[in-house]
Structure formats: structure tokens, C-alpha cells
């Protein structure tokens, strides 16, 4: 799975992000995992909505456009019952619950692409 390093504007921290951009990787997402470590995430492309069916932990969701600008943030999506969407989003970055607050992520801020592999 492709990996990116993203730096949220104003945070100085680098996030290690895996990219789900195939049918199978997008379908699986984070299902079956026990947790997502702090400082990591899953970027689903393309994606403008997510659900939490079959998830075992809460997440934060950050919807972005093609320039990695944040369009919408959703905190603490709960397993099994959470659902969210963002009109016009190109992708959804799934992060451990609490990362939106910790990193100061908000609409209008940008995620800088540091490197990819």
C-alpha cells in the first residue's frame, strides 16, 4: 500500500499515512484493525463519505480537496453507528480519535505533502 507523509499546517508534526486507492483497499479501510496509532492515518481516495460499520474503535475524519486543503472535520466518529459525508471532497483522511484537536486541524488549513513511497 502506498504511503505518504503529510504535515498539517501550523503543527510541525509529520503524519505517516497509508493510501487506500483501489477498490479492495477502499472497501476494507480500517475494518478489522484494533486501533490506529497516534501520528498515523488512512487516506481514502477518492472518497466523500464514510461509515463505521464493522469498526472496533472511534476515529476522526478529515475531508480534503485535491490540493490537500481541509474542507470539513468530524470528531469522534463512533464504531458501528458513525457516518459522515462532505460534498465536493476528493478524499477522507481517517485519524485516531482526538487527532483533530491535538493537531489543530480545521477547514481552510492545508496538509503539505512531504514525501511518498
- Structural domains of the chain sorted by starting position, each given as residue range(s) with its CATH number in brackets: 3-112 (2.60.120.1140)
pLDDT digits (tens, 9 = 90+) for 77-110: 999 999 999 999 999 999 999 999 999 999 999 9
Candidates 117, 67, 65; CA nearest to 92 is: 65
> Across residues 110-117, what is the average pLDDT?
82
Q: Is 101 helix (H, G, I), strand (E, B) or coil?
A: helix
Cα–Cα distance, 107 to 71 (Å, whole number): 5
Q: Which position has the grid cell 503524519?
A: 15
Number of other CB atoms surrounding residue 49 within 10 Å: 14
Could you read off the pLDDT of 64-79 as tens digits, one per residue?
999 999 999 999 999 9
Q: What is the pLDDT of residues 3-29, one digit of tens each?
A: 999 999 988 899 999 999 999 999 999
Residue 117 predicted with pLDDT over 60: no
Task: Say whether pLDDT at 116 is over 80.
Answer: no
Q: How far is CA 115 from the centre of its chain?
A: 17
Which stretch of 16-25, 30-39, 45-54, 81-90 has the lowest confidence by average pLDDT? 30-39
Amino acid at each position: 500500500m502506498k504511503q505518504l507523509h503529510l504535515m498539517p499546517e501550523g503543527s510541525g508534526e509529520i503524519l505517516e499515512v497509508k493510501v487506500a486507492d483501489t477498490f479492495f483497499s477502499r472497501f476494507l479501510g480500517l475494518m478489522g484493525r484494533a486501533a490506529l496509532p497516534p501520528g498515523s492515518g488512512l487516506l481514502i481516495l477518492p472518497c466523500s463519505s464514510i461509515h463505521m460499520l464493522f469498526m472496533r474503535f472511534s476515529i476522526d475524519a478529515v475531508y480534503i480537496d485535491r490540493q490537500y486543503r481541509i474542507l470539513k472535520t468530524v470528531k469522534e466518529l463512533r464504531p458501528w453507528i458513525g457516518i459522515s459525508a462532505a460534498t465536493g471532497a476528493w478524499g477522507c483522511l481517517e485519524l485516531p480519535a482526538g487527532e483533530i484537536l491535538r493537531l489543530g486541524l480545521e477547514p481552510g488549513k492545508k496538509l503539505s505533502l512531504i514525501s511518498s513511497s
